[in-house]
Structure 1
Amino acid sequence: MASALNNPPQEGRDGSSLTKGPHHPSPSHYLTPEQDENITDEPADFRPTTRFWLAIMTLAVLTLMVALDATIISVALPKIAMKLKGTGIQAFWAGTSFMLTATVFQPSYASFSHIFGRKPLILLAITFFLAGSLIGGLANDFTLLLIGRSLQGVGGGGITALTEIIITDLVPLRLRGQWFGIISAMWSVGSVSGPIIGGAFSQNVSWRWIFYLNLPFIGVGYVMVPLFLRLNFLPSSMASKLRRVDYFGTVVFVGSTTSFLIPVTWGGVMYNWSSWRTLVPLTIGVAGLVVFVLYETYLAVEPLIRLSIFQSRTASIAYATNVLHGMILWCVLYYLPLYFEAVKGYTPVVAGLALFPSSFTVAPAAVVIGLLITKTGKYRWSIILGWTLTTLGIGLLYLFDVDTSTVQWVFIMLVSGVGMGMLFPAMQFALQGASTNKDLAFAVAMFSFFRSFGNALGVAIGGSIFQNEMRKRLLASPRWADQAVMLAKDSAALVQTIKLMPAGTDKRDLQVAYAQSFRAIAVVLCALAGVSLILSLFIKSYDLNRALESEQGFMNEKNSKAKAGEEARREQKNSG
């Protein structure tokens, strides 16, 4: 193990050129992880220092902030829509805009952090989050609120991607499970606490505190990141760095992904799927992504996204199932509160508390599985078991109706929570085990991108299924048929209307429609989980005992210093 850690990496193992450019190897030179990495007989000799712990805890706090904001607004949306006189569509966008912008900018953060450094980029992400929080908290109309949520998403996407990249910079592969488990736990705690805190603020104080709550977290980030996240980086000039940016690829990717996600978001909700308002931007988005892939393959000198990260079957399956995992998890977190408020008549706070059986099993499951994989060096079993439990648990959500008892829904939600929690670290190991060290930062960023992509799709497609099913159910009701279209488009605001209605047939009809709409979502999500289970059977096991090679490790770590010096000499040689 010592020789594997101390011997310098051979040419081509660090992201350097195997052919012409510094970061543009040809497909014929792609190496497998077994060919590319230093394999050790046991995990690397890794001892966390105090500074390491403080850096990780800072990243965990920032992750908690992002996770809170991803869900904190969901339960409060009916109140916010009423206060700002917004429509159900605007309320829908208040949730979706955060996920959309958080998704499309993640690959850019990864690429730019490779050029400008991890620390400057994470500080930039925190600044975007601060701007969005202030604008959202001070908003007096829905337009400003949406701008604030969008800027929060830009910052949140950067924090999410860079947190995972930095962990791969600092921790050997096999030992990353517990650290990714901590980050997953923060996501779980934030995701489940968000609706509770949002509901409490909107009900007892003011919805504006949903945004102001971020300010202490942001303060911690501004102080702790410069103090403890002092990482190695290449000593090149700003002009040299700016020349390396893939400007065309960045613009095309962000524009095309946005153009694709927006119609997917409003299809069947704001406009019909057959409407030109849906089809035109969707077509432009797909065409733009094709142009992007061609440009990155044949023309980009230093691509925004390295296409070599897709060379492995296991990596490709990990990306695909991560999209589905994100869709399922966020659909459950986002639409269950609507079910509990409208159908069960719970207050926003109680609706948030009702998510505990699912969300609070995610964190311990993620941590335990991360530790088990670190101990055994095996991850494939946990992916298959995780998807099995997720498929079963999501399928059981179909049993939710107006008369479902508390005991029933608690035990049903426990199953899916454990399954989805297991998948967080397990799929990370599969992806990173199948990726080479030179591509690892880009692979991790794309993994984060695909998860956020799934989150955005989950909220959007879940909303489309929910509202379309509700419209169909109300059209079948003589009492509500003439109002079906209007009520279905304003289903978030309708929660308050249902809760204020006196008990009777009319109220029960609307509650039944809500329950049936949620069950329609459960059917689709169960099918997606089943597809993921089948795909997971084709994931390959890779050796996790890999030596750490980091370009941007802590400044006082000898290996990272040597790495930075080697890269600096290579850059001078290439520029000369």
Structure 2
Amino acid sequence: MGTIYYLSATIFQQPVAEISHVIGRKPAFLLVLTFAASGTIIAGTANSIPVLLAGRAFQGFASAGSVLSAIILTDLVPIQDRAIWLAIQNARMLFFMNLPLLVISAIGLACLLGFDRPEQGIRKSLKRVDWIGIGIFIPSALSFLSPFVMAPTLFPWKSVQALVPLASGVVGLVTLAVHQRLFAKRPMFRPEIFDKHVTVSAILGLTVCGICLNVLLFHLVLFWEGVRGYSKMETSVAVLPETVSIPVAALVCGMLMRRTNRIREAVWVGWPLAVLSLGLLWFMDDSTPLHWLVIINCGVGLAAGTLMAALNVLLLAATNKELNGHAIAMGLQARSAGMCLGIAIGTTVFSYRMNQKLQKVGGGEINSEEILRLIEEIKRDPNCRKAIIDALRVLWGICCALSAAVGVYNGVCKFPLLRPPSVEDAETKVYVVKELGEKSAASGTDVCPDSKV
């Protein structure tokens, strides 16, 4: 259920954003809320697994509409305040519990959000949408990402079911890139966003953040339950250091960037902290004191919150204002794609490494889902606990290496200021200095041109 949700959310983010750029935010948002309500009803009334998966797919499409929230904030909020608002923004959908919230949201949007009606009308404006690009992107992304979220649980990586969709997806995405760069009159993926090293590094950074977050959140459960022997309720409390520290770090980072008007320092702090905290995860085992586990996991959350806030704002600050909506959509798309890749990397590496360790002690093959089903037996088997620790250490090492590589690339790029000095401010400063100069000349005193006013 989680994989179909992430897959649907990843695929439809860019099409939803592109349609909103043409027909307006309000009708696009109301369409997304309709899908959210439909998915909630389908999932809540499902009597079979296929129907439940269909409901989750609808909800994934609605989750793709979360990009509209970020785009609307980009439209309405000055760039120096966007990090704070993006940190506050958060949404979760839990079947029928969401219906009252969806109804309230729909009424609020209908009454409060202005309808940015296109000058040519919706029907004519829809013709401007890059439908060819959307038609290439959706099946290509679905084909490319499907093996990552289904293998090796449903079929092995070397099987035809994995390799053929993967190769087809690569060919489709290459075709999409050629179409966007050479043939599209109004491309869905704006080439200008990819023309700078700083924007490319920010997109890669958000992708790595998505990978690491899903690897962590999916597999820390195995650590707390399988290695430490916690119950499900105790495990939900044990992951609070990440879930609480991420939004707090994002909010504090946004406030500091607004105050200092700089982004570089947040990135320079975030990546080393991520590498350090992910590296320290390697030392977690069944004998590590609890307070050290809390400190290490808080470090991971602080790094993730800092980086997501800084990289999103960096992506906006490095692009022209008219492309900010496309830029924030691309950033969220990258993070969502990273989450899908995180599922694949985590399950594949973990299962492979753990089976290697179990075979050395005469055990059979096992995967992540079977571990969760057999968790009570694993708690009593020291060989299984050691195999889990060893497999998790490989995952932490991969996340640490990815963070270090992208962090170096991101750190050496040229960073823009959060809010560049405006022309009006420069003209006002020149005028005031000129006036002071004339008055000082009349009084016979000298005024330094760099004097603060």
Fold shared, TM-score > 0.5 on shorter chain: yes
Show CA shifts across 1:485-526 (max 9, x none).
Answer: xx32xx334324332x4974xx33223322322222111111
How much has 1:351 moved relative to structure 2?
0.9
- d(CA) in 1 for partners of 2:382 and 2:375? 9
Q: Which residue of 1 aligns with 2:55?
A: 148
Alignment of 1:110 with 2:20, yes or no, is: no
2:148/2:340 contact within 8 Å kept: no
How much has 1:472 moved relative to structure 2?
1.8
- d(CA) in 2 for partners of 1:476 and 1:137? 45
How many residues are treated as equivalent by the alignment?
Answer: 422
1:329/1:455 contact within 8 Å kept: yes
1:260 to 141, 144, 157: 144
Q: TM-score, normalised by structure 2?
A: 0.88
Alignment of 1:95 with 2:2, yes or no, is: yes
Show CA shifts across 1:532-571 (max 9, x none).
Answer: 22112222221333599xxxxxxxxxxxxxxxxxxxxxxx
How much has 1:109 moved relative to structure 2?
1.1
Q: Which residue of 2 aligns with 1:168?
A: 74
- d(CA) in 1 for partners of 2:302 and 2:378? 38
Root-mean-square deviation (CA), in Å?
A: 2.0
- d(CA) in 2 for partners of 1:453 and 1:545? 29
- d(CA) in 2 for partners of 1:542 and 1:415? 27
- d(CA) in 2 for partners of 1:376 and 1:238? 42
- d(CA) in 1 for partners of 2:375 and 2:156? 27
Output aligned runs, 1:304-319, within 5 Å: 304-319=188-203
Q: Which residue of 2 aligns with 1:227?
A: 111
2:226/2:379 contact within 8 Å kept: no
Residues 143, 542 of structure 1: alpha-carbon distance in 2 compared, 3 angstrom cutoff: same
Residues 145, 477 of structure 1: alpha-carbon distance in 2 compared, 3 angstrom cutoff: farther
- d(CA) in 1 for partners of 2:225 and 2:379? 15
Output aligned runs, 1:259-298, within 5 Å: 259-298=143-182
Residues 547, 258 of structure 1: alpha-carbon distance in 2 compared, 3 angstrom cutoff: farther
Alignment of 1:494 with 2:371, yes or no, is: yes
Q: Which residue of 2 aligns with 1:364?
A: 248
- d(CA) in 2 for partners of 1:332 and 1:502? 20
Alignment of 1:332 with 2:216, yes or no, is: yes
1:395/1:522 contact within 8 Å kept: yes
1:165/1:441 contact within 8 Å kept: yes
Larger of the two Rg values belongs to structure: 2
- SS of corresponding position for 2:127: helix
- d(CA) in 1 for partners of 2:420 and 2:280? 40
1:104/1:257 contact within 8 Å kept: yes
Q: Which residue of 1 aligns with 2:35?
A: 128
2:399 to 525, 538, 561: 525
Show CA shifts across 1:251-275 (max 9, x none).
Answer: 1101111111112233444333332
Q: Which residue of 1 aligns with 2:184?
A: 300
- d(CA) in 1 for partners of 2:378 and 2:63? 41
Alignment of 1:472 with 2:346, yes or no, is: no
How much has 1:467 moved relative to structure 2?
1.7
Q: TM-score, normalised by structure 1?
A: 0.70
Output aligned runs, 1:195-234, within 5 Å: 210-234=94-118
How much has 1:423 moved relative to structure 2?
0.9
Q: Which residue of 1 aligns with 2:413?
A: 539
Show CA shifts across 1:264-322 (max 9, x none).
Answer: 23344433333222211111101101111111222222222211211111111111111
How much has 1:165 moved relative to structure 2?
0.7
- d(CA) in 1 for partners of 2:371 and 2:40? 27
How much has 1:444 moved relative to structure 2?
1.1
Residues 103, 502 of structure 1: alpha-carbon distance in 2 compared, 3 angstrom cutoff: closer
Q: Which residue of 1 aligns with 2:306?
A: 422
- d(CA) in 2 for partners of 1:177 and 1:477? 51
- SS of corresponding position for 2:47: coil
- d(CA) in 1 for partners of 2:83 and 2:33? 25
Unaligned runs of 5+ in 2: 423-453
Residues 518, 137 of structure 1: alpha-carbon distance in 2 compared, 3 angstrom cutoff: farther
Q: Which residue of 2 aligns with 1:354?
A: 238
Letter in 2 for 1:429: V
2:314/2:418 contact within 8 Å kept: no
- SS of corresponding position for 1:302: coil
Residues 406, 291 of structure 1: alpha-carbon distance in 2 compared, 3 angstrom cutoff: same
Show CA shifts across 1:38-69 (max 9, x none).
Answer: xxxxxxxxxxxxxxxxxxxxxxxxxxxxxxxx
Unaligned runs of 5+ in 1: 1-93, 195-209, 549-576
Output aligned runs, 1:18-57, within 5 Å: none
Show CA shifts across 1:302-351 (max 9, x none).
Answer: 22221121111111111111100111112212221232122222222221
- d(CA) in 2 for partners of 1:144 and 1:512? 39
Q: Which residue of 2 aligns with 1:249?
A: 133
1:268/1:468 contact within 8 Å kept: no
1:174/1:377 contact within 8 Å kept: yes
- d(CA) in 2 for partners of 1:177 and 1:397? 28
Residues 322, 402 of structure 1: alpha-carbon distance in 2 compared, 3 angstrom cutoff: same
Q: Which has the higher contact order (CA 8 A, sep 6+)?
A: 1
- d(CA) in 2 for partners of 1:458 and 1:447? 16
Residues 301, 382 of structure 1: alpha-carbon distance in 2 compared, 3 angstrom cutoff: same
- SS of corresponding position for 2:399: helix
Letter in 2 for 1:130: A
- d(CA) in 1 for partners of 2:37 and 2:389? 38
Letter in 2 for 1:111: E
- SS of corresponding position for 1:513: helix
- d(CA) in 2 for partners of 1:445 and 1:174? 18
- d(CA) in 1 for partners of 2:370 and 2:58? 24
- d(CA) in 1 for partners of 2:411 and 2:154? 38
Residues 437, 502 of structure 1: alpha-carbon distance in 2 compared, 3 angstrom cutoff: closer
Letter in 2 for 1:393: S
2:386 to 509, 512, 521: 512
